């Protein structure tokens, strides 16, 4: 079928418009940000990790193949952070015959367990994906102020460091979003007078114990220089504890923080007024959400006489509280992911860990084979 004369005339007119369009020069002197390899990486909810990875007898090969494909696309396999809210509920039972026993209390959270017991086979999941580096999250929420939590730290550090030997260790993490410990909607684990100074004291107490146990059970980790942390892993910049104050209180006094980790969600799953077009597909909203982290990080840079570790999003995604159906799991949200990650790279973030968990609506990429 041949076009009509009217169609030809219209095409010619459009072509003329294109040819006459103004040209906008792109400056060649703009500052660049050399991002880390595996720039787009992932964070998996602690209680969901065995689902995503499987174990020695039943490895999740779907996840493994998907990680291989993602690695080929971006030149390096994603780094996997194992953590989130449930890392600060996790206790240990040597006799548990399976990886994890989780009990959900709907009055606290409906999407993940708030009573979590792990057994020795939990650590088999670190052996199912080839050529992947992992961070493992230890329990500061209970470990910093309860004997059962402290015992879990003593019991699991040897297991974790052995599971993450042979080059598998990315970094350690001690505590998830401690800036919310005194105000958490899932139940506070610190008193109302929780402060940056107390947090730093408890963090050092735990991380020094972790180092001592690694030295005892996995000395090669220290000898190779692989030992270190991502921190402070705060939920945001407007909560009870502040990143600059925690840094000024000596958080990196032992000089063992390798990554300055902060968390970000654009908005909440049940926040009033959240829409696909007005929130997730609105670049101004994304820019504003990212820029506040740059402002806080720059405060620390200006106040610190010592080098500050590189900036990463240790946990991030579109809507907190695991996302909302019809928003977080749409094509528009996928476009938001592209916009968010590119903008974060343009302003200085070195790596981004997109958070997900079993049955979360917020997964940008599902690593879980249904």
Q: Do the bridges between strand 351-356 and strand 90-92 make them parallel or antiparallel, or are there none, so unpaired?
A: unpaired
SS (H, E, C) the chain: CCCCHHHHHHHHHHHHHHHHCCCCCCCCCCCCCCCCCCCEEEEEEHHHHHHHHECCCCECHHHHHHHHHHHHHHCCCCCEEEECHHHHCEEECCCCCCCEEEECCCCCCCCCCCEEEECHHHHHHHHCCCCCCEEEEECCCCCCCCHHHHHHHHHHHHHHHHHCCCCCEEEEEECCCHHHCCCCCCCCCCCCCCCHHHHHHHHHHHHHHHHHHHHHHCHHHHHCCCCCEEEEEECCCCCCCCHHHHHHCCCCCCCCEEEEEEEEEEEECCCCCCCHHHHHCCHHHHHHHHHHHHHHHHHHHHHCCCCCCCEEEEEEEEEECCCCCCCCCCHHHHHHHHHHHHHHHHHCCCEEEEEECCCCCCCCCCCCCC
Question: Partners of 37 in the beta sheet?
Answer: none
Sign for the pseudo-dihedral over CA of 275, 363, 284, 83: positive
Number of Cβ atoms within 10 Å of the Cβ of 124: 18
Annotated active-site positions, please? 196, 315
């Amino acid at each position: 079928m041949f076009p009509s004369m009217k169609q030809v005339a219209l095409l010619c007119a459009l072509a003329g418009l294109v040819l006459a369009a103004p040209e906008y020069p792109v400056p060649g002197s703009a500052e660049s940000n050399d991002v880390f390899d595996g720039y787009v990486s992932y964070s998996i909810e602690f209680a969901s990790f065995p689902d995503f990875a499987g174990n020695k007898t039943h490895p999740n090969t779907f996840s493994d193949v998907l990680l291989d494909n993602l690695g080929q696309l971006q030149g390096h396999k994603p780094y996997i952070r194992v953590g989130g809210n449930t890392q600060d509920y996790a206790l240990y039972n040597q006799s548990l015959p399976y990886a994890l026993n989780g009990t959900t209390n709907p009055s606290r959270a409906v999407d993940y367990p708030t009573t979590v017991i792990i057994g020795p086979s939990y650590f088999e999941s670190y052996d199912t994906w080839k050529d992947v580096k992992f961070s493992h999250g230890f329990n500061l929420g209970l470990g910093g102020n309860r004997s059962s939590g402290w015992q879990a730290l003593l019991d699991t550090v040897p297991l974790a460091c052995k599971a993450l030997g042979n080059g598998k260790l990315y970094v350690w993490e001690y505590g998830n979003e401690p800036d919310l410990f005194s105000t958490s909607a899932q139940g506070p684990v610190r008193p109302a007078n929780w402060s940056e100074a107390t947090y730093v004291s408890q963090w050092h107490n735990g991380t020094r114990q972790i180092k001592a146990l690694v030295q005892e059970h996995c000395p090669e980790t220290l000898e190779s220089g692989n030992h270190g942390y991502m921190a402070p892993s705060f939920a945001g910049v407007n909560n009870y504890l502040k990143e600059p104050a925690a840094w000024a209180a000596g958080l990196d006094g032992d000089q063992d923080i390798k990554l300055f980790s902060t968390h970000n969600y654009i908005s909440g799953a049940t926040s009033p007024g959240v829409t696909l077009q007005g929130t997730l597909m609105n670049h101004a909203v994304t820019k504003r959400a990212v820029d506040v982290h740059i402002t806080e990080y720059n405060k620390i840079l200006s106040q610190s006489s010592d080098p500050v570790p590189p900036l990463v999003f240790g946990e991030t995604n579109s809507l907190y509280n695991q996302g909302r159906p019809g928003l977080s799991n749409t094509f528009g949200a996928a476009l938001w992911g592209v916009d968010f990650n590119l903008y974060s790279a343009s302003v200085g973030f070195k790596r981004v860990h997109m958070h997900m968990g079993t049955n979360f609506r917020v997964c940008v990429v599902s690593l879980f084979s249904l």
